[in-house]
Amino acid sequence: MRYWMECGSFFREFRRHGRSTGAVLPSSRFLARALASELRRPRPSGTILEVGPGTGSVTHEIVRFLRPDDRLDAVEINPRFVSLLESRYERDWSRYCRREQLRIIAAGVEDLPGEACYDYIVSGLPLNNFPVAQVREIFRAFNRLLKPGGTLTYYEYVLVRQLKTPFVNRRERWRLRGVGRVVRGYIRSYQVRRQPIFINVPPAIVRHLCLKPTRTIERERGQRPVLAGSTRGPRLIAASPSSRGR
């Protein structure tokens, strides 16, 4: 029942903000488990960033595998999803993690401050919906925020760019091809693992990238891109009982 309620919320936001929402339905539990799979492996405690949690279907899988000293930051730009995530902590996630372990941040990932802050980044952003320049900026933010040796996990729908291309105008074809070039460059250079997920609408591929392999740390020092942040900083929202019903 709860999943279908999430579907209703997700579909309403898709109708309002189709470009930033990206899908008609939330991630299936199979896709969510694959996105959280790095956290299920034997590992030390660390810092985790979830980008674009939406209704929290992937967040639910992440908090289930948090270690006592882990910290999870969930950054979401859609204010309606932010309110939903606030209420879900007390209702669903408080049995898995302490309140101080989870922060909900109302912002875009490009606006997050800091460098080398996270051991793991899990992204649900619909990259195929964004302008090419924004996709580049998002990957620069991932690179800036991820610690050396850390893992970026994200997904893309199977063949979505190829299926769209024949049915759109020339400008949109150029945009899709540009996004494809950016994404393929990162896949060729940094992908360490992939997982096809067919039980999802639509089917998806989960990709795991190591953007800063430890053997190249010294070479990369001094070459990290500078983030062009917005003039308004991110808004931090601590999950708390008072946030329910907002």
- pLDDT tens digits for range 123-171: 999 999 999 999 999 999 999 999 999 999 999 998 888 888 888 899 9
Residue 184's pLDDT is what? 96
Q: Would you list the domain boundaries of the chain? A: 27-243
**Residue type (1 letter), 149:** G
Q: Can you say how many angstroms the Cα of residue 193 is from the centroid of all Cα atoms in its chain? A: 17
> No. of H helices and E strands in the chain?
10, 8
- pLDDT tens digits for range 100-113: 999 999 999 999 99
- pLDDT tens digits for range 20-61: 444 546 788 999 999 999 999 999 999 999 999 999 999 999
In the sheet that holds 47-51, the strands lie side by side as 191-197, 204-209, 146-157, 118-123, 47-51, 71-76, 102-106, 235-238
Task: Please give the model's pTM, rounded to 2 decimal places.
Answer: 0.80
- The length of the chain in residues reads 246
| Confidence check: pLDDT of 236 > 70 | no
CATH number of 27-243: 3.40.50.150
CA distance 29 to 64: 13
CA distance 244 to 246: 6
